[in-house]
């Protein structure tokens, strides 16, 4: 049988790119399939190199909250391109972007642009350590904060273990100050503070964990982290690379009314272009070079074309807060309908969702942390994912990712998806 264009491209890609992809999850490894090579996108849909159309529930892993091909964004990007791609100098667009972010997120009094979520988190941790003059940080097993050395830590097995590297090439010295706690377990955080509270610079948390599927914070969890940090003089860092400008104009901190000291951003802030940012209280951010002694820099940070995309997207979102209400309501109904489908089929399942983020797990027990997420039937998920892909529904090719809905996911598109899902799962279950 003749190869598809995606298969042919993948065959070439693996010769010249590690794994054939520029980011591991795109290789479809965890579901054992060949990646689709995407040629174009519009609204809620992707189109691959073989002309297949998919309803897209990845949205480039979060940035495309307006949907693909948003005119507001494309026009501003084209205009910026005509005026020059990059200057390596201060521009008015960076001031506009910074004022926009500070205006939308009250806890952010100053913000620095970088080029990815990884860079934002790496820099935020450095600022927290510089501000507190402490070295240790607490992160949560199952939360992902980009690939900087100090955060590539093996899941800690309790309070007494120092972080050990979770990647080749990361020296022990880079992770020994990274302590792992369990998501939704204040006790596991208290144990770290009880043991070395005066050495802990920061607690970094995804306020909605979206890298082990989607795991919402239990009531009191984020508030508890806030008070522990206050009690021990540590900073609370909200990694809002996914939730920022997605759950609402002021992200998860606005959604849950818990104020961090530093916030990191990515994805939505760039409108599809490479943008990350970190910001927070003025007295903290004033430590960042050239003002203060915490060094951080970047050739393309605040790039005019990327700023144009981000400003256009954030401005549209700021001017239409009702879009969030409508999207989150539509998404809530959508995920509730998925529960209805799975319930009728008698499958063990959990569906977690917050706003336009959601995740289906095949498991009886509630998914509240990494252990319970890992206990789900990932093989069944892989079959489900591949089957849905074949039906034209493009889901994240991993159990431990989120479904991202956009403003372009209309009621009709969601109903079409539910119909396909019910039909496929009914057929599929007769086979397993
Ligand atoms: P980037 O460096 O990939 O822009 O952002 C890193 C990052 C930081 N913090 C959170 C909470 C994140 O989710 C991410 C990156 N998210 C993944 C998807 N779960 C990106 C997809 C990929 O790695 O290709």
Q: Which entry of 131, 232, 267, 384 is annotated as an active-site residue?
A: 267
d(CA 60, CA 282): 32
Q: What are the tens digits of pLDDT across the range 69-120?
A: 999 999 999 999 999 999 999 999 999 999 999 999 999 999 999 999 999 9
Q: At what angle do helices 71-83 and 304-319 cross, to 10 degrees?
A: 150
Cα 189 off chain centre by? 23
pLDDT on residue 213 = 97
Q: How many domains does the chain have?
A: 2
pLDDT value of residue 427: 87
Closest to 182 measured CA to CA, from 164, 200, 201, 209 = 209
Q: The domain containing residue 54 runs over which residues?
A: 5-68+321-431
369 and 253 together in one domain: no
Question: What is the full DSSP assignment across 67-94?
Answer: -BT-HHHHHHHHHHHHH-S--SS--HHH
CA 215 to chain CA centroid, Å, is 12
267 a catalytic residue: yes
In a mutational test of the pocket of ligand 1, which residue from 145, 214, 396 has the highest number of ligand atoms less than 8 Å from its CB?
145
Distance separating alpha carbons of residues 210 and 145, to the nearest angstrom? 10
**CATH at residue 26:** 3.90.1150.10
Please, are residues 30 and 398 in contact by the beta-carbon 8 Å criterion? yes
Listed residues 319, 339, 367: the one ending a domain: 319
Residue 144 φ then ψ, to 5°: -120, 135
Q: Supply φ then ψ for residue 229, to 5 degrees.
A: -65, -40
Residues 211 and 188 in one domain: yes
> Which CATH number do you get for residue 214?
3.40.640.10
Q: Which of 297, 319, 341 is the last residue of a domain?
A: 319
Q: Which atom of ligand 1 is nearest to the CA of 240?
A: 11
Protein residues with CB under 6 Å of any ligand 1 atom = 23, 25, 61, 116-118, 121, 144-146, 206, 211, 239, 241-242, 266, 276, 401
**Measured in angstroms, how far is the CA atom of residue 146 from the centroid of ligand 1?**
5
Give yes or no: residues 89 and 12 share one domain: no
Q: What is the mean pLDDT of residues 361-374?
A: 97
Q: Is the pLDDT of residue 164 over 90?
A: no
For ligand 1, atom 18, the nearest C-alpha belongs to 61
Asked whether the whole model's pTM tops 0.95, one would answer yes
Strand partners, 48: 38
Active site (annotated) includes residue 239: yes
User: When comparing pLDDT for 432 and 60, which is higher?
Assistant: 60
């Amino acid at each position: 049988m003749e190869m598809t264009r995606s298969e042919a491209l993948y065959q070439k890609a693996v010769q010249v790119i590690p794994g054939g992809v520029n980011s591991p999850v795109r290789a479809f490894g965890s579901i054992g399939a060949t990646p689709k090579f995407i040629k174009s996108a519009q609204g809620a849909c992707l189109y691959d190199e073989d002309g297949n159309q998919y309803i897209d529930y990845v949205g480039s892993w979060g940035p495309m909250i307006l949907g693909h091909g948003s005119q507001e964004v494309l026009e501003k990007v084209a205009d910026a391109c005509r005026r020059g791609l990059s200057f390596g100098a201060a521009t008015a667009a960076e001031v506009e972007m910074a004022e926009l972010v500070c205006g939308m997120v009250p806890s952010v009094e100053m913000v620095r642009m970088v080029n990815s979520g990884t860079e934002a988190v790496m820099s935020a941790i450095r600022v927290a350590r510089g501000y507190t003059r402490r070295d240790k940080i607490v992160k949560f097993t199952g939360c992902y904060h980009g690939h900087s050395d100090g955060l590539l830590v093996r899941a800690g097995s309790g309070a007494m273990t120092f972080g050990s590297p979770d990647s080749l090439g990361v020296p022990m010295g880079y992770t020994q100050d990274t302590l792992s706690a369990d998501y939704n377990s204040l006790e596991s955080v208290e144990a770290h503070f009880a043991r070395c509270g005066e050495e802990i610079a920061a607690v970094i948390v995804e306020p909605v964990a979206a890298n082990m599927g989607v795991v919402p914070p239990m009531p009191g969890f984020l508030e508890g982290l806030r008070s522990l940090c206050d009690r021990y003089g540590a900073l609370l860092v909200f990694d809002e690379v996914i939730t920022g400008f997605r759950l609402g104009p002021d992200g998860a901190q606005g959604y849950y009314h818990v104020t961090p000291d530093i916030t990191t951003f990515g994805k939505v802030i760039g409108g599809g272009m490479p943008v990350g940012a970190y910001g927070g209280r003025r007295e903290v951010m004033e430590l960042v070079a050239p003002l203060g002694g915490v060094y951080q820099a970047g050739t393309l940070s605040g790039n005019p074309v990327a700023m144009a995309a981000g400003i256009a997207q954030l401005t549209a979102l700021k001017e239409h807060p009702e879009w969030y209400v409508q999207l989150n309501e539509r998404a809530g109904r959508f995920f509730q309908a998925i529960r209805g489908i799975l319930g009728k089929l008698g499958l063990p399942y959990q569906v977690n969702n917050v706003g336009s983020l959601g995740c289906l797990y095949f498991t009886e027990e509630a998914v509240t942390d990494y252990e319970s997420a890992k206990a789900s039937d990932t093989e069944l998920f892989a079959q489900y994912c591949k089957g849905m892909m074949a039906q034209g529904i493009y889901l994240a090719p991993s159990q431990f990712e989120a479904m991202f809905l956009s403003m372009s996911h209309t009621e009709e598109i969601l109903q079409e998806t539910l119909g396909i899902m019910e039909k496929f799962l009914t057929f599929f279950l007769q086979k397993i």
